[in-house]
Structure 1
Amino acid sequence: MKRKNKTLFNMLIIIVVVVTILLVINPFKKDVWDINADNFRDSFNIISGTTTIDDLSQWGGFEWDVMYSFRPYVSKEKVYEVVGYKWDNINETVNENMNQIVFIKDGKVVCYIYGYPNNTGLEFNFGEYEGDYIKLSSKNRISFNSTFDDNNNFRYFEYINK
């Protein structure tokens, strides 16, 4: 009987330790850049049709200093180099229709939008890239013409270069 009680007690301790570790580490917790990407996408749900976004920094519910949009096929090493550090296991875009957009606040990534518009719900067109990326500051008014694609269920943004 003592042996059985000791085994149950040891199992209870192991369960408590495992649960505590899971609560502290929380492997299911989303990163801030993923949470903000969801908030950014959702912030446009109030728009039902075509409109002009006068200042992108007013949308999304998070603050940012700089936004980078990387042209398709840019290596992840180049993205890390431009951004200034490795923040996640990112992927390279493998198609012309994919977006890779990074928002930075105080040198840290606060929002990361990657993938096909059908998956992200957003598509950005910045026109022709002169290099590997476009860098825009939230201090400037960043404007877009925006339409909603009912067939594919995503919002399309066309950069207005002033």
Structure 2
Amino acid sequence: MKRVLRWLGLIAAIIVISVLSVKIVEYNSLVSRNTRNLERILSQNTYSEKGNVKNLITFDYDKMYVFLPYLPRDEMEKQIGFKYPKLIQALNEGINNILFVKDDKPVAYLFGYPSDTGYYINIPSGEYTKAQIEATTYQSKTREVGNSYGTPKKYVNYLLTD
């Protein structure tokens, strides 16, 4: 009996270590690092109220995809031309759902409500090249949104313009 428990404990420890290793590798992936850095920049609004978008995005990418709300993952994958299991179908409007791609590989993914992420990028859905985005300017304003807890949250609203 002790031997069985010892083996079960060993197997459980191996599983836990494996899961933690995968999470650590995922946390340190290029996509994760780029996403965290961009989210930090956008939510802190360390730049002026007006500026060029190329000053906000510090990593290299070829294209930026802005997905419509309610679009299923398989439709998003058709648009980008490859499978990416981390894509999430937005079930409401007003959610960021933006994927940055370099050489047909994801390099950053922004998804979430402005009240959770601290920012909102107001740009029409579609596919944009890096040159198009770098030629784009933005205006940012701090907005406040209410919630069911009665404590309004602030976020930075970025309006992208040509």
Aligned residues: 151
**Matches of residues 121-160 of structure 1 in structure 2 within 5 Å?**
121-126=118-123, 129=124, 133-140=125-132, 141=134, 142-149=136-143, 152-160=153-161
Residue 30 of structure 2: which of 10, 20, 32 is its match? Answer: 32
Structure with greater helix percent: 2
The answer to whether residue 120 in structure 2 is matched with residue 119 in structure 1 is no
Structure-2 separation of matches of 1:76 and 1:146: 30
Where does structure 1 lack aligned partners over 5 or more consecutive residues? none
Give the CA deviation at 1:38: 1.5
Point out the structure with max Rg over C-alpha: 1
Residue 65 of structure 2: which of 56, 68, 79 is its match? Answer: 68
Give the CA deviation at 1:101: 0.5
CA RMSD, Structure 1 to Structure 2 (Å): 3.1
Give the TM-score normalised by the residue count of structure 1: 0.72
Where does structure 2 lack aligned partners over 5 or more consecutive residues? 146-152
Where 1:153 maps in the other structure, the secondary structure is: strand
Which of structure 1's runs of 4+ aligned residues deviate more than 3 A? 9-29
Structure-1 separation of matches of 2:15 and 2:118: 37
2:101 corresponding residue in structure 1? 104
Residue by residue, what CA displacement relative to the aligned partner does 1:66-125 show, whole Å, maximum 9, x if unpaired? 111112111211111111112224321111111210100111011111121111222121
Determine if contact 2:45/2:156 at 8 Å carries over to the other structure. no
Identity %: 21
1:80 corresponding residue in structure 2? 77
Give the TM-score normalised by the residue count of structure 2: 0.72
Where 2:41 maps in the other structure, the secondary structure is: helix
